[in-house]
Amino acid sequence: MTPERRKQFIFAALVLVLLFVGWRQLRQGSFGSPTAASGAAAGASRGVVARNGAGNGDPLVVELRVADLEREPGDYAPGRDPFRFGAPPPPPPAPPPEPDPEALRRAEEALAAMEQPEEIVPPKPVPPPVDVVYLGSFGPERHRLAVFSDGKAIFNVLEGGVLNEKFIVVRIGFESVDVGFVGFPDAPPERLAVGG
Protein backbone atom coordinates (compact mmCIF):
# COMPACT_ATOMS: atom_id res chain seq x y z
CA MET A 1 0.00 0.00 0.00
CA THR A 2 1.48 3.31 -1.07
CA PRO A 3 1.63 6.30 1.26
CA GLU A 4 -0.85 8.21 -0.91
CA ARG A 5 -3.33 5.35 -0.83
CA ARG A 6 -2.94 5.05 2.96
CA LYS A 7 -3.74 8.77 3.42
CA GLN A 8 -6.90 8.39 1.33
CA PHE A 9 -8.01 5.41 3.39
CA ILE A 10 -7.44 7.25 6.70
CA PHE A 11 -9.28 10.33 5.39
CA ALA A 12 -12.28 8.20 4.36
CA ALA A 13 -12.38 6.56 7.80
CA LEU A 14 -12.25 9.97 9.50
CA VAL A 15 -15.12 11.26 7.37
CA LEU A 16 -17.21 8.21 8.27
CA VAL A 17 -16.57 8.71 12.00
CA LEU A 18 -17.50 12.39 11.79
CA LEU A 19 -20.68 11.58 9.89
CA PHE A 20 -21.66 9.03 12.51
CA VAL A 21 -21.03 11.46 15.41
CA GLY A 22 -22.94 14.22 13.66
CA TRP A 23 -25.90 11.97 12.90
CA ARG A 24 -26.00 10.85 16.53
CA GLN A 25 -25.92 14.43 17.84
CA LEU A 26 -28.74 15.45 15.50
CA ARG A 27 -30.81 12.50 16.55
CA GLN A 28 -30.49 13.43 20.26
CA GLY A 29 -31.36 17.02 19.53
CA SER A 30 -28.41 18.60 21.31
CA PHE A 31 -26.51 19.67 18.21
CA GLY A 32 -27.67 23.22 17.51
CA SER A 33 -30.62 23.13 19.96
CA PRO A 34 -31.37 26.24 22.05
CA THR A 35 -30.81 24.36 25.32
CA ALA A 36 -27.23 23.43 24.38
CA ALA A 37 -26.44 27.03 23.52
CA SER A 38 -27.51 28.30 26.92
CA GLY A 39 -24.41 26.68 28.59
CA ALA A 40 -23.63 25.52 32.09
CA ALA A 41 -25.69 28.21 33.85
CA ALA A 42 -28.83 26.97 32.22
CA GLY A 43 -27.91 23.39 33.25
CA ALA A 44 -27.72 24.38 36.92
CA SER A 45 -31.13 26.03 36.83
CA ARG A 46 -32.62 23.03 35.00
CA GLY A 47 -31.38 20.74 37.80
CA VAL A 48 -33.19 22.86 40.38
CA VAL A 49 -36.36 22.94 38.29
CA ALA A 50 -36.25 19.18 37.75
CA ARG A 51 -35.87 18.55 41.47
CA ASN A 52 -38.80 20.77 42.29
CA GLY A 53 -40.98 18.86 39.87
CA ALA A 54 -41.65 21.83 37.58
CA GLY A 55 -39.28 20.71 34.80
CA ASN A 56 -40.18 20.78 31.14
CA GLY A 57 -39.35 17.08 30.57
CA ASP A 58 -35.86 17.72 29.18
CA PRO A 59 -34.25 14.27 28.66
CA LEU A 60 -30.79 15.51 29.77
CA VAL A 61 -31.95 16.29 33.27
CA VAL A 62 -32.47 13.17 35.33
CA GLU A 63 -34.49 13.34 38.49
CA LEU A 64 -32.56 12.36 41.62
CA ARG A 65 -34.23 9.53 43.51
CA VAL A 66 -33.11 9.67 47.15
CA ALA A 67 -34.61 6.26 47.95
CA ASP A 68 -32.12 4.63 45.56
CA LEU A 69 -29.24 6.26 47.44
CA GLU A 70 -30.40 5.03 50.84
CA ARG A 71 -30.95 1.43 49.74
CA GLU A 72 -28.73 -1.10 51.54
CA PRO A 73 -26.49 -3.21 49.36
CA GLY A 74 -27.42 -6.87 49.21
CA ASP A 75 -25.75 -9.28 51.59
CA TYR A 76 -22.91 -11.07 49.91
CA ALA A 77 -21.42 -14.14 51.50
CA PRO A 78 -18.79 -15.85 49.38
CA GLY A 79 -18.83 -19.61 49.44
CA ARG A 80 -15.06 -19.97 49.38
CA ASP A 81 -12.40 -17.54 50.56
CA PRO A 82 -8.90 -18.56 49.42
CA PHE A 83 -7.32 -16.17 51.94
CA ARG A 84 -9.00 -17.79 54.94
CA PHE A 85 -7.63 -21.29 55.22
CA GLY A 86 -8.74 -23.63 57.92
CA ALA A 87 -9.27 -27.29 58.47
CA PRO A 88 -12.81 -28.43 57.84
CA PRO A 89 -14.75 -29.26 60.99
CA PRO A 90 -14.54 -32.91 61.98
CA PRO A 91 -17.54 -35.07 61.19
CA PRO A 92 -19.86 -35.77 64.09
CA PRO A 93 -18.97 -38.91 66.02
CA ALA A 94 -20.88 -42.04 65.21
CA PRO A 95 -23.43 -43.08 67.81
CA PRO A 96 -22.17 -45.86 70.09
CA PRO A 97 -23.36 -49.34 69.16
CA GLU A 98 -26.04 -51.01 71.22
CA PRO A 99 -24.48 -53.12 74.00
CA ASP A 100 -24.71 -56.87 73.60
CA PRO A 101 -26.44 -58.55 76.60
CA GLU A 102 -23.82 -61.30 76.62
CA ALA A 103 -21.01 -58.73 76.69
CA LEU A 104 -22.73 -56.87 79.55
CA ARG A 105 -22.98 -60.09 81.57
CA ARG A 106 -19.28 -60.86 81.02
CA ALA A 107 -18.29 -57.32 82.02
CA GLU A 108 -20.32 -57.56 85.23
CA GLU A 109 -18.67 -60.90 86.09
CA ALA A 110 -15.21 -59.43 85.49
CA LEU A 111 -16.05 -56.44 87.70
CA ALA A 112 -17.30 -58.72 90.47
CA ALA A 113 -14.11 -60.80 90.23
CA MET A 114 -11.98 -57.66 90.53
CA GLU A 115 -13.86 -56.53 93.64
CA GLN A 116 -13.15 -59.77 95.50
CA PRO A 117 -10.32 -59.37 98.00
CA GLU A 118 -7.04 -60.84 96.86
CA GLU A 119 -4.84 -62.91 99.09
CA ILE A 120 -2.49 -60.64 100.93
CA VAL A 121 1.03 -61.72 100.21
CA PRO A 122 3.46 -60.77 102.94
CA PRO A 123 6.26 -58.55 101.66
CA LYS A 124 9.62 -60.14 101.03
CA PRO A 125 12.13 -59.50 103.77
CA VAL A 126 14.63 -56.79 102.94
CA PRO A 127 18.32 -57.11 103.81
CA PRO A 128 19.45 -54.74 106.57
CA PRO A 129 21.20 -51.49 105.63
CA VAL A 130 25.00 -51.50 105.79
CA ASP A 131 25.91 -49.60 108.96
CA VAL A 132 29.69 -50.07 108.88
CA VAL A 133 32.43 -48.15 107.05
CA TYR A 134 35.12 -49.93 105.04
CA LEU A 135 38.53 -48.54 106.03
CA GLY A 136 40.76 -50.65 103.78
CA SER A 137 42.58 -53.99 103.63
CA PHE A 138 45.98 -55.42 104.50
CA GLY A 139 47.86 -58.71 104.50
CA PRO A 140 49.05 -61.15 101.82
CA GLU A 141 46.96 -61.73 98.72
CA ARG A 142 45.74 -65.17 99.80
CA HIS A 143 44.80 -64.11 103.34
CA ARG A 144 43.66 -60.49 103.03
CA LEU A 145 41.88 -58.88 105.91
CA ALA A 146 39.20 -56.22 105.42
CA VAL A 147 39.03 -53.52 108.09
CA PHE A 148 35.61 -52.09 109.09
CA SER A 149 34.40 -49.67 111.73
CA ASP A 150 30.95 -48.99 113.13
CA GLY A 151 32.06 -45.81 114.89
CA LYS A 152 32.69 -47.58 118.21
CA ALA A 153 34.80 -50.62 117.33
CA ILE A 154 37.14 -51.79 114.55
CA PHE A 155 36.61 -55.19 112.90
CA ASN A 156 39.16 -57.24 110.89
CA VAL A 157 37.42 -59.88 108.71
CA LEU A 158 38.83 -62.46 106.26
CA GLU A 159 37.24 -63.03 102.85
CA GLY A 160 34.20 -65.30 103.46
CA GLY A 161 33.94 -64.25 107.13
CA VAL A 162 30.88 -62.85 108.94
CA LEU A 163 30.78 -59.26 110.23
CA ASN A 164 28.46 -58.25 113.14
CA GLU A 165 26.40 -61.41 112.53
CA LYS A 166 24.65 -59.52 109.65
CA PHE A 167 27.14 -59.27 106.77
CA ILE A 168 29.34 -61.71 104.84
CA VAL A 169 32.56 -60.45 103.22
CA VAL A 170 32.20 -61.91 99.70
CA ARG A 171 35.28 -60.47 97.99
CA ILE A 172 38.07 -58.08 98.96
CA GLY A 173 39.47 -55.86 96.20
CA PHE A 174 42.22 -53.23 96.19
CA GLU A 175 39.98 -50.24 96.97
CA SER A 176 36.59 -51.85 97.62
CA VAL A 177 34.89 -54.81 99.25
CA ASP A 178 31.73 -56.74 98.29
CA VAL A 179 29.47 -57.42 101.26
CA GLY A 180 26.62 -59.99 101.20
CA PHE A 181 23.86 -60.40 103.75
CA VAL A 182 23.37 -63.26 106.25
CA GLY A 183 20.05 -65.05 105.56
CA PHE A 184 19.65 -63.48 102.07
CA PRO A 185 21.50 -65.72 99.62
CA ASP A 186 19.57 -64.34 96.59
CA ALA A 187 20.27 -60.68 97.39
CA PRO A 188 23.13 -59.24 95.30
CA PRO A 189 26.19 -58.19 97.30
CA GLU A 190 26.69 -54.50 97.96
CA ARG A 191 30.03 -52.92 97.07
CA LEU A 192 31.61 -50.57 99.59
CA ALA A 193 34.47 -48.24 98.66
CA VAL A 194 37.21 -47.17 101.06
CA GLY A 195 35.71 -44.65 103.49
CA GLY A 196 32.14 -45.38 102.35
Percent of the chain with pLDDT over 70: 76
Question: Within 13 Å of residue 149, how many CA atoms lie on the same side as its CB?
Answer: 10
Question: Quick check: pTM over 0.85?
Answer: no
Considering the chain, what percentage of its residues have pLDDT values greater than 90?
A: 30
- Give mean pLDDT, residues 82-110: 83
Q: How confident is the model at residue 195 (pLDDT cuts 50, 70, 90)?
A: confident
Domain locations along the chain? 3-52, 133-193
Terminal Cα distance for the chain, rounded: 116
Nearest of 134, 160, 166, 161 to residue 147 by alpha carbon: 134
CATH of domain 133-193: 2.30.30
